[in-house]
Structure 1
Amino acid sequence: MSSTTTVAAGIAPEDGAGTLFERLAEVWVELEDRLDRVPILQRLADGTVTLEDYRRLLFNLRQQVVDGSPWISRAASSFDIEHFELRAAAIRHAEEEHRDYLMLERDYVAIGGSLEELRRGRKNIGSEALSAYMFHYAGQPNPVGLLGAMFIIEGLGAKRAAGWAARFQEVLGLADSQVHFMRYHQDADAAHTGDMEAILTSGIIDDRDADDIVRCAQVVARLYALQLEELDR
C-alpha cells in the first residue's frame, strides 16, 4: 500500500509517527526490498528460473498454506463479543481459504510433481517459524494485531502473485492451469485487502491496536521472506 492509497482512502496524515497506513506502507517497502534479494525471485526476474525452481516453490508454499485456514479459525475463536466484527470477518475468511491448498496441489501435479510426495513434505525453516508465530498469536485474547499479518499475506497475493504467475508462464511456457493458485489470489486477496482496509478505517482500531498491527506486519514480512529464502531447508 502506498501513500497514494492512504490519500484515496480519505485518511489525513497525522503528526508524529504518521497514520497506520503510512506505517504499514513502510513495512511493505522493506518487504519488497527483501523479496528483490530472494534467489528464486531474482532468477524469476532475470529469466533464468527453471521448472524445478517453480516446483520447489510450490512444494514449500504448500506446507505453510495448508495451515492458513486453521490459524484464522483459531483467531476467530479468540475474539470476544466486544470484537464481534473482527470475529465475523475471521470466520468468513477462514471459510473462503480452507480449500486454497487444493488449488496449489493441482498446479504441482500439473507440472509433473508427485501429490504423494507433496503431502509428505515438511515445512522449511521459514515456514516453521511463520506458522508457529501465527498459531501462537492467533491464540492470544483478541489478536487484533493479526490484521498486520493479513496486510502482508493478502497484499502479496493481491500485488505480487499474478505478476509471478505471468513471469513463470513467460519464461517456462506454462499454461493457465499450471499457475492457477497464484492467479486466483490476485482477485481473491484483493477482495480480502479491501475488507481489511474497511476495518482499519472503521474507527475501531485504537493506538495500541495500531502498534500491534504494525509489529505483527513487521514480523510476518520477515518470516514470509525467510520461507522463500530457505527453500527445502
Structure 2
Amino acid sequence: MTIDATTTAPDTAGGGVAILAERLAAVWADLDARLDRVPVLRALAEGTVTLDDYRRLLFNLRQQVVDGSPWIARAASNFDVDHFDLRSAAIRHAEEEHRDHLMLERDYVAIGGSLAELRTGRKNLGSEALSGYLFHYADRPNPAGLLGAMFVIEGLGANKAAGWASRFQEVLGLADNQVHFMQYHQEADGQHTGAMEAILYSGLIDDATADEIVRCAQVVARLYVLQLEELDR
C-alpha cells in the first residue's frame, strides 16, 4: 500500500471506504512520529546505538514475531464461506509468515546471542498487549478489521525494516547475515501490502468494515510502539 506520510494525525471518525486510504495514511503518519521518539530507534538515527541495543531489539521482537503466523491462522479459521476470499488470503499469509522467527533467530545467534535464552525469553509489556489484542481480535467472527493490523505490521516491514538494517550495518559494521530478518521484509512485506491493497479496494469492504480496519490499525500502531519502548520489561 502506498503510504502518504504528509498527513499528521489519525482520523478517529467514520468515513467509510471512500476515504479509507486517507484515514490509514493518517494512522501511519502518527506511527511514524511516535517511532522517531522510541529510544532505540532514536539512538540508531543518531549513530549512538550499540550492539547490545541491537541484540536486545531482536530478543524482544522475536517473542512477538513467533506469534505472527498463529494469530493470522486463527483469523482465517473464523472467516465463514461468505468471506472465502479473505479466508484464502489469510491462509496464504499465515503460511508465508510461519518461518519468519527462524530468520530472526539466526541473526541473533550471528551477533553472539544465545539461542536457548532467546527461545525461553518472555514477551515484554508491549508485546504482551499486542499479541493479546491480535489473538482476541482473531477470535471474532469474520475479523476483517485485522487488515488494519496487517497494514501497520506489513507496512513497517516494507517501509522501515530495510532502512533500519542498513543503518545498523553502517553504525555497527554488521554483515548481511546479521541483519537478514530486516532486509528480507522489505521485499516480502512489499508483496504482502500489494495483495492487501487489492483486497481493501476490491469491493469486499463495506463502510462498517472500513471503520473497523482503521480502528484496528490505530490500536496496533500504538501497541507496536509500546513494544519497542518497553524493551526487556
Q: What TM-score does the superposition give when structure 1 sets the normalisation length?
A: 0.94
1:162 counterpart residue number: 162
Listed one character per residue, the Cα deviations across residues 143-176 of structure 1 (whole Å, up to 9, x for unaligned) are: 0000000000000000000000000000000000
* Structure 2 gap segments, 5+ residues each: 6-14
Instruction: Report the counterpart of residue 62 of structure 2 in structure 1.
Output: 62
**Which residue pairs with 1:20 in the alignment?**
20
Cα 1:210–1:16 shift into 2, 3 Å: closer
Aligned counterparts, 1:159-198, within 5 A: 159-198=159-198
Deviation at 1:50, TM superposition (A): 0.1
- Tell me if the contact between 2:16 and 2:208 (Cα under 8 Å) persists in the aligned partners: no
Task: Determine the C-alpha separation between the residues in 2 that align with 1:142 and 1:155.
Answer: 22
Give the corresponding residue for 2:79. Answer: 79
Find the residue that maps to 2:204 and give its secondary structure: coil
Match of 2:10 in 1: none
CA contact (8 A) 1:108 1:115 kept: yes
Alignment correspondent of 1:105: 105
Q: Which residue of 2 aligns with 1:51?
A: 51
Determine if the alignment matches structure 1 residue 146 to structure 2 residue 137. Answer: no
Task: Give 1:139 deviation, angstroms.
Answer: 0.5
Percent sequence identity is 78
Are 2:12 and 1:38 equivalent residues in the alignment? Answer: no
How far, CA to CA, are the matches of 2:79 and 2:157 in structure 1?
25
- Match for residue 204 of structure 2? 204
Q: Which amino acid aligns with 1:107?
A: D
Establish whether residue 223 from structure 1 lines up as the match of residue 196 from structure 2: no
Q: Aligned partners of 1:179 and 1:29: how far apart in 2? A: 26
Q: Please provide the CA RMSD for this pair.
A: 1.5
8 A contact 1:17–1:23 mirrored in 2: no
Check 1:16–1:197 CA distance in 2 against 1; reply closer, same or farther (3 A cut): closer
Secondary structure of the equivalent of 1:156? Answer: helix
In the alignment, the residues of structure 2 paired with residue 230 and residue 221 of structure 1 have an alpha-carbon distance, to the nearest angstrom, of: 14
Mapped contact 2:17–2:210 kept (Cα < 8 A)? no
Unaligned ranges ≥5, structure 1: 6-14
Q: Which residue of 2 aligns with 1:117?
A: 117
Mapping of residues 86-101 of structure 1, within 5 Å: 86-101=86-101
- Tell me what 1:12 maps to: none
User: How far does residue 73 in structure 1 lie from its aligned partner after superposition?
Assistant: 0.3
Q: Would the alpha carbon gap of residues 107 and 21 (structure 1) be closer, same or farther in structure 2, given more than 3 Å must change?
A: same
TM-score (ref. length: structure 2) = 0.94
What amino acid sits opposite 1:87 in the alignment? R
Residue deviations 1:78-132 (CA, integer Å, cap 9, x gap): 0000000000000000001100000000000000000000001000000000000
Shift of 1:195: 0.3
1:110 and 1:20, CA in 2 relative to 1: closer, same or farther beyond 3 A?
same
Q: Which amino acid aligns with 1:144?
A: A
> Aligned partner of 2:97: which letter?
E
Amino acid at match of 2:172: L
Structure 1 counterpart of 2:75, one-letter code:
A
In the alignment of these two chains, the number of paired residues is 224
